[in-house]
Structure 1
Amino acid sequence: MSDKTPDLHAAYALDSPEDHKRLYAEWAGDYDEGFATREDYQLHIHTARAFVGAGGQGPVLDVGAGTGLCGAVLARLGVGPIDATDISAEMLDQAMRKDIYRDAIEADLNEGIPVPRESYSGIVSSGSFTHGHLGPEALTALLRVARPGAQFALSINAQHYEKVGFAEALHRLAQGQIRNLTLPEVRIYGDLASGPNKDDTALIALFERA
């Protein structure tokens, strides 16, 4: 294990699945208090509320669930059942301790999700479509496991959205695979944040599978 505590800068610089597994194995035990609370992280709250506000319902797949921050908000809002998927077994272990998930699925989204087609009525993701993490190519795997009419709420770091081609990918999908796309912009962190990324924003891609 590294002597350096994992941080957002290290997470944004990740390059391979092995890098992800290594960093999040180190970060899992301290993520909620050492990052989310300290930095007044709010994106999971915005994402869950947007999903519910758009009429989202279970069964839901929480993509890049991490320690279960977004799932916990969904559960408080009465959404369920919820399954968690993440590349990190250690993060999923923390998530399952919250006793809000029906199942945990360890998977690299770029290689697909080992569940049957059309398994979910809702897909949420908070914090995974960002620098060093997932790009628009992962949307195909999510559409495969979504039922027709399934509600999506995917947070996408605003800088990442512009940089890696989400606009083009979503425009292409809107030609027949998705419908009712909206992109509200939200702050990733609250007023108590003090780090260099405290003013960062994200777009929440809200749409339904056609």
Structure 2
Amino acid sequence: MDQGLKGALGLTGPEACLAYYRDWADTYDQGFAEGMQYRLPAHVAAAFLGAGGQGPVLDVGAGTGLLAERLREMGFQGDIDAVDFSAEMLGRAAEKRLYSGLFRADITRPLTLPRRYGGIVSSGTFTAGHVGPEALPHLLDVAEPGALVALSINRRVWTAAGFERVLAQLADEGRIADLRLPEVEVYGAAAADLDADHAGDRALVALFAAA
């Protein structure tokens, strides 16, 4: 049975996230992504490539690999690594053979990955019940100077969770530059039949260069 979006957005704490995505991994692509016409991965991929994004790329909160699929469909041929908190979701991603490396990690803590990434992308990770802006410095620590970053941030948490403030602070500190914030739809029209409360959700794609 598909776990559903409402439960995911109400998660509190890492153990709850692990348990939820352990049970959701098998039905995520067909039950959630197809049913809700989940457009966010395509929007992030298009924003990243449209701004001249280069690899190697780190896909943050990669899940089952939907964002990497969209990058490949749009012609990106460079290396992509995946990082996610859920071993089960990474297992589904591995089956698609999209990634050069797959890493299980909590991005709210310092990462042990090398500072090698020319691009960092993320779709759906920075939203209610998931990851807050405390992860952003850790992502910058593994980005090469000048790397292009494209992260979706749900409108519902943009101000409430402190993303607006933290990104402004990182800019003031000289850790990021050239911040742009295009706004996109998260779901297609079919979502209204499955989850009217969230069907109209919008997200900002935070595009910026790592210093």
Which interval holds the TM-score relative to the shorter structure?
Answer: over 0.9
Give the drift of 1:126: 0.1
Does the 8 Å CA contact 2:120/2:147 hold for their aligned counterparts? yes
Aligned to 2:120: 123
Does the 8 Å CA contact 2:107/2:138 hold for their aligned counterparts? yes
Task: Point out 4+ residue stretches in structure 1 off by more than 3 angstroms.
Answer: none
Structure 2 gap ranges (5+): none
Read off the aligned partner of 1:108 and give its amino acid letter.
D
Aligned to 1:90: 88
Aligned to 1:103: 101
Q: In structure 1, how many angstroms separate the alpha carbons of the residues matched to 2:104 and 2:84? A: 5
Match of 1:208, SS? strand
Read off the aligned partner of 1:206 and give its amino acid letter.
L
How do 1:116-155 residues align onto structure 2 when only pairs under 5 Å count? 116=114, 118-155=115-152
For residue 39 of structure 2, the aligned residue among 39, 42, 63 is 42
For residue 74 of structure 2, the aligned residue among 74, 77, 91 is 77
Does residue 156 (structure 1) correspond to residue 153 (structure 2)? The answer is yes
Deviations 1:65-98 (A, max 9, x none): 0000001111222322000000000000001111
Structure 1 gap ranges (5+): none
Read off the aligned partner of 1:185 and give its amino acid letter.
E
Deviations 1:80-125 (A, max 9, x none): 2000000000000001111110010000111222212x21000000
Match of 1:174, SS? helix
The TM-score, its normalising length taken from structure 1, stands at 0.95
Does residue 54 (structure 1) correspond to residue 51 (structure 2)? The answer is yes
Aligned to 2:186: 188
CA RMSD of aligned residues (A): 1.0
Does residue 171 (structure 1) correspond to residue 172 (structure 2)? The answer is no
Deviations 1:6-59 (A, max 9, x none): 111111111111111100010001000000000111000000100001110110
Aligned to 2:203: 202
Q: In structure 2, how many angstroms separate the alpha carbons of the residues matched to 1:145 and 1:77? A: 25
Read off the aligned partner of 1:87 and give its amino acid letter.
F
Match of 2:108, SS? helix
Give the drift of 1:191: 2.1
Q: In structure 1, how many angstroms separate the alpha carbons of the residues matched to 2:50 and 2:176? A: 18
Q: Which moved more, 1:16-25 or 1:120-129?
A: 16-25
> How many percent of aligned residue pairs carry the same amino acid?
50
How do 1:25-36 residues align onto structure 2 when only pairs under 5 Å count? 25-36=22-33
